[in-house]
Amino acid sequence: MQGVTTTARTYPAPSAVLELLKPVTWFPPMWAFGCGVVASGVPLAGNWGIALVGILLAGPLVCATSQAVNDWYDREVDAINEPHRPIPSGRIPGSWGFFIAVAWTGLSLLVAASLGLWVFVAAVVGLALAWAYSAPPPRLKRNGWWGNAACGLCYEGLAWVTGAAVMIGGALPPAPTLILAFLYSAGAHGIMTLNDFKSIRGDLQMGIRSLPAMLGPERAARVACWVMAVPQVVVIGLLLSWGRPIEAGIVATFLLGQIAMMRRFLKAPSERAIWYSGFGVPLYVFGMLASAFAIRGIVA
């Protein structure tokens, strides 16, 4: 396997395991979970414990599982794109990457089962999509349309629904929460596309049809921008129809900020994808929180 270094290690070092689980990636689902908590309308007073367990489930467990699964099945691609990662570099030797992914899957299910039926169902769906995204035979990431949809659903929609379900005793959240969770999941498809710009070379070599590899950087960038913007327009319309004009105005303001940055991103997408992820995507997730407060006002 190109780029892999040999090592005498038998067991992975804790620092390598932590790197495999990628704490930096935990923020999006934890934020979405927090939006679900806010949208539930249930006060945090007296519920901090269950909320914190839910945040642990969304980030350090389910999201971390998805990262371990992805790195195990992407080890050949990473040997080309990022050979310093724990598995291709040999810092996680043998089949330990697979064992960690399986162990984290089981731990995630145990924690989810303690939080109620719908939380457990959401965790099962999220974990199934995490494995299907990376593992053959489905390996959804081989196609940017399906793979990014699976990621968006896991990172935003399911985490949002789980956060609301945790706070209302594990029951199915009301329709407005489900609708907004779906819309922000759809928009997150574009966010996932931004992450694929950095790996175009390896994706082309390994036959992974990410949108930047499939459509080219310019077309993929336009698709990402439209996919992110249109659901937010629908959210604004819904908030207005639900009698929440202030929150609708906040989301609209954040969207205008994104559009201004999108114009710069589209001029050099390969060079500016990381820049837009760092500055444009936060406006997207701030809009999510504003929408969650709007829902709180409706259900409270």
pLDDT in tens, 156-184: 999 999 999 999 988 889 999 999 999 99
Q: Which residues neighbour 100 within 8 Å (Cβ) at sequence distance 6 or greater? A: 12, 17, 20, 21, 68, 92
3-state secondary structure 237-266: HHHHHCCCHHHHHHHHHHHHHHHHHHHHHH
When pLDDT is averaged across residues 267-282 and rounded to a whole number, the result is 94
Q: How many domains does the chain have?
A: 1
Q: How many CB atoms lie within 10 A of CB 208?
A: 21
Q: What is the DSSP letter of 4?
A: P
What span, in angstroms and rounded, lies between the C-alpha atoms of 47 and 35? 15
pLDDT in tens, 109-130: 999 999 888 889 989 999 999 9
Question: Is 29 contained in some domain?
Answer: yes
Question: Is 5 contained in some domain?
Answer: no
Q: Tell me how far the alpha carbon of residue 283 is from its chain's centroid.
A: 16
CATH number of the domain to which 245 belongs: 1.10.600
Mean pLDDT of the chain: 91
Q: Is 83 helix (H, G, I), strand (E, B) or coil?
A: coil
Residue 4 has pLDDT above 60, yes or no: no
Range of the domain at 233: 14-299
What span, in angstroms and rounded, lies between the C-alpha atoms of 22 and 192? 16
Residue 25 has pLDDT above 80, yes or no: yes
Question: Is 8 contained in some domain?
Answer: no
When pLDDT is averaged across residues 92-112 and rounded to a whole number, the result is 96
This prediction's pTM: 0.88
pLDDT value for 9: 65
Question: Is 231 contained in some domain?
Answer: yes
Question: Is 242 contained in some domain?
Answer: yes
